Amino acid sequence: MTATFYDLTEEQIIADFGRYVSSGKVELYRQMGLATVPGKREGVRIWSRDGSRSLINCRASGGVFNLGHRPPAIVDAIRCALDTLDINDHLLMSEPRAMLAHRLAELLPGDIQYTTFGVSGGEAVDFALKLARGFTGRPGVISVRGGYHGHTGLALAAGDPAFRDPFGPPAPGFTQVSFGDVPALAQAMSDQVAAVIIETIPATAGILIPPEGYLTAIRELCDQYGALFVADEVQAGLGRTGRLWGIDHWGIIPDVMVLGKGLSGAIYPITATCYKPELDRWLAKTNPFIHISTFGGSDLGCIAALTMLNIITAPGFMEHVEQMGDRLMHGLRTLQAQMPQLISEVRGKGLMIGVELAGEQFGPMLTVLLAQHGVLAVYANNRPSTMIVMPPLIITADEVDEVLDAFGKCFAIMAGRLGNEGE
């Protein structure tokens, strides 16, 4: 290299991004007024490259930044590990991998004991569905409309048609039903269904909270038909809802759980597909090397994840998440009471919150206004009327109040524009 990225201006970086990464994304960023390159990032904040402004990250990349940007404990653990460790060969045994899998088995609900590691949520979901199909000998997979499980293979087939249809015919065996509709799920079930996969709280669908008895009904239907219940906790897990696992709120034990994003500690990519002993026995009998991931469960990734688990299981951590979630929810509901013409509902658990707006057009508008007022948040891709609010779990009360102040200013601007249009 003849130059480092430090030598480039922001406009040169944007031009290179458009020329060599994605021209379409840069065009969209420019249209939305978000064509800026992040520079310093620390705690809950991202700074512009020139340091002139910052954003509180209430997107958190779906939970990647649960502990904020560059969490010191994770950074220090990786630096220390680099003195003796590297990625390791995925075909060999690994002390950090064994330690992390052991720790997860201690923390996971019920008798979920075994873990296969990956590097992306889509890969982890792919393995979960492969495992379900192989174990049951069935092809069928049922998922929820508007849900999101990743952009790879089987994960894509279980997700929204908008992401898969441009690439050709859908994979066979996949069926979708409406979220919360037990009769529709019961009608779709058969002795050819290998798995029902659902995000415990579907985020991209709009932070949908399971109706009373819904997850229990899924568990019962899976048991009745001999299918596996796969809980996608990539976003809802690891403390996001104020409980270690989102599914803990309903006391349900799935057969398989998929973890990701926050497992990385925002420093080293790692995901996990966790499952019951009978599924491991099937793998051992069939071929224990039937699924491999070159970078899955790397030694460095396991060190990051172990450190992250130590932090979120420390006394007081979950209480903090619940307190900050209550503070944020209360503030947003106060704004709802003041501006019902803009906000129809505020729902969520812990720091996984959806603000339901009065129309789909308001999601993109609020995204841009919030960025202009120091908050990074985006609307739900499969439900543009819902603004997703998922700040780092380490957010402080003062930072919550700063977020609420930005929301209040943005809603006031929107209300003013609505009033002018009415006149």
Q: How confident is the model at residue 166 (pLDDT cuts 50, 70, 90)?
A: confident
Q: How confident is the model at residue 423 (pLDDT cuts 50, 70, 90)?
A: very low
Q: How confident is the model at residue 5 (pLDDT cuts 50, 70, 90)?
A: low
What's the pLDDT tens digit per position in 89-118?
999 999 999 999 999 999 999 999 999 999
Question: Mean pLDDT, the chain, as a whole number?
Answer: 95
pLDDT at 376: 96
> What residue spans in the chain does CATH classification 3.90.1150.10 cover?
36-65+316-422
What's the pLDDT tens digit per position in 372-398?
999 999 999 999 999 999 999 999 999
Specify the DSSP class assigned to residue 341: T
What's the pLDDT tens digit per position in 262-276?
999 999 999 999 999
Highest mean pLDDT out of 35-44, 126-135, 163-172: 126-135
What type of residue is 108?
A: L
Q: Please list the alpha-helical segments (H only) found in 150-258.
A: 153-157, 161-164, 182-188, 214-225
Is the Cα dihedral 306, 281, 248, 155 positive or negative?
positive
What's the pLDDT tens digit per position in 300-316?
999 999 999 999 999 99
Sort residue 212 into left (φ over 0), alpha (ψ -120 to 50) or beta.
beta
Specify the DSSP class assigned to residue 334: H
Pick the CATH number of 73-312 from 3.30.750.24, 3.40.50.300, 3.40.640.10, 2.40.50.140: 3.40.640.10
Q: How confident is the model at residue 2 (pLDDT cuts 50, 70, 90)?
A: very low
Lowest mean per-residue pLDDT among 145-154, 182-191, 350-359: 145-154
Using N-to-C axis directions, what is the helix angle for 277-286 and 121-136, rounded to 10°? 80
Give yes or no for residue 169 having a pLDDT over 90. Answer: no
Residue with tokens 């201690």: 106
Q: How confident is the model at residue 170 (pLDDT cuts 50, 70, 90)?
A: confident
Q: How far apart are CA 106 and CA 89, in angstroms?
A: 26
What's the pLDDT tens digit per position in 206-224?
999 999 999 999 999 999 9
Q: What is the mean pLDDT of residues 409-420?
A: 91
**pTM passes above 0.85:** yes
pLDDT at 163: 83
> What residue spans in the chain does CATH classification 3.40.640.10 cover?
73-312
Q: How far apart are CA 335 and CA 30, in angstroms?
A: 30
CATH fold of 36-65+316-422 = Aspartate Aminotransferase, domain 1 (3.90.1150)
